[in-house]
């Protein structure tokens, strides 16, 4: 599932052709994805100007001139692909429709944005822009790791007395929003912390030190266009390449990359997910 860097990469790719532009027509080709689409979604989108594209955790939010906001979640395999870009940033002509093109935005500037999702685990919803943070998918989210509301004392307080492994704590969207399996593994490696350590047993200075590491990992991943493992592509159809910089994720049985460490990357399963780490230098 795309994590924060992949979703931010998609948002940045969509912004030049969607922000400030009217949706000339919206085609909704099925009644649902993971959940049913909102009533009259095509009608409510058609003719509206996209005032702003934002991101909250793993969601893209499109604020519309109607006073509503379109919430988009890519799910496991969802992609938003641009064709016919009038700004000349993309060279793709409008392709023939494909089986899993579930929602298509025909923009007034000639661009077409297609939401393609073979597994149909993605989602879209419409909500009032004012007060949208109370939407059931957003209300439970913790602070944005790249925002001003995420700082060392916040994470230290959240970890106090928690008996869950630190890996699980960092994946808890109520503690910090947007982190997923890949970037938690990479963060813990850089922090020198085993994913098996109990969150509440880690010293406060070591917890606090994870905050800038989390930001650094995410910023590097965004700069690289995210990580392409299976389905993820950027909005221009290109692959991200941060996966070539992984220190531990997906590197089971390979040598540790930390200078001076002769350990080997191991994989364990925690809560049904693979955790990759170096048992030698992550304690």
- List the catalytic residue out of 120, 196, 267, 273: 273
Nearest CA-CA partner of 51 in 104, 109, 129: 129
Tell me if residue 18 falls in helix, strand or coil: helix
Nearest CA-CA partner of 187 in 148, 157, 155: 155
19 noted as active-site residue: no
215 noted as active-site residue: no
What's CA 10's distance to the chain center, in Å? 9
Q: Tell me if 217 sits within 8 A of 183, measured CB to CB.
A: yes
How far is residue 275's CA from residue 171's CA, in Å, rounded to a whole number?
12
198 noted as active-site residue: no
Long-range contacts formed by 257-261: CB under 8 A, 24+ apart: 258/189
- List the catalytic residue out of 2, 143, 145, 195: 2
Q: Residue 169: what are its φ and ψ, rounded to 5°?
A: -65, -40
Specify the pairing of strand 50-56 against strand 59-64.
antiparallel
State the alpha helices, DSSP H only, in 56-203: 152-159, 166-171, 181-191
- List the catalytic residue out of 55, 58, 167, 233: 58
Question: Tokens at residue 144, please?
Answer: 């944005």
Question: Tokens at residue 243, please?
Answer: 């996966």
267 noted as active-site residue: no
Question: Tokens at residue 108, please?
Answer: 């007034």
Element (H, E) at 4: helix 4-18
- Give CA angle at 62 (18, 170), nearest 5°: 120
**Residue that the structure tokens 């919206």 belong to:** 26
Catalytic sites, residue numbers? 2-3, 58, 273
């Amino acid at each position: 599932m795309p994590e924060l860097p992949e979703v931010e990469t998609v948002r940045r790719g969509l912004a030049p052709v969607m922000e400030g532009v009217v949706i000339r027509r919206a085609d909704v080709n099925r009644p649902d994805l993971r959940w049913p689409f909102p009533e009259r979604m095509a009608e409510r989108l058609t003719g509206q100007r996209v005032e702003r594209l934002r991101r909250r955790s793993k969601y893209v939010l499109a604020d519309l001139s109607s006073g509503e906001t379109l919430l988009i979640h890519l799910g496991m395999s969802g992609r938003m692909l641009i064709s016919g870009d009038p700004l000349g940033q993309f060279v793709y002509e409008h392709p023939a429709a494909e089986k899993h093109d579930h929602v298509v935005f025909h923009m007034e500037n000639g661009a077409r944005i297609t939401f393609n999702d073979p597994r149909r685990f993605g989602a879209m919803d419409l909500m009032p822009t004012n007060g949208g943070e109370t939407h059931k998918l957003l209300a439970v989210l913790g602070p944005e790791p790249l925002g001003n509301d995420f700082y060392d004392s916040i994470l230290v307080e959240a970890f106090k007395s928690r008996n869950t492994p630190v890996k699980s704590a960092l994946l808890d969207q109520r503690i910090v929003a947007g982190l997923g399996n890949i970037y938690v593994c990479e963060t813990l490696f850089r922090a020198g912390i085993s994913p098996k350590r109990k969150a509440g047993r880690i010293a406060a200075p070591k917890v606090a030190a994870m905050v800038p590491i989390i930001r650094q990992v995410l910023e590097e991943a965004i700069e690289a266009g995210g990580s392409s493992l299976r389905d993820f592509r950027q909005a221009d159809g290109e692959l991200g390449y941060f996966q070539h910089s992984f220190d531990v994720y997906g590197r089971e049985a390979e040598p540790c990359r930390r200078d001076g460490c002769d350990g080997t990357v191991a994989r364990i399963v925690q809560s049904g997910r693979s955790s990759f780490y170096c048992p030698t230098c992550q304690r």
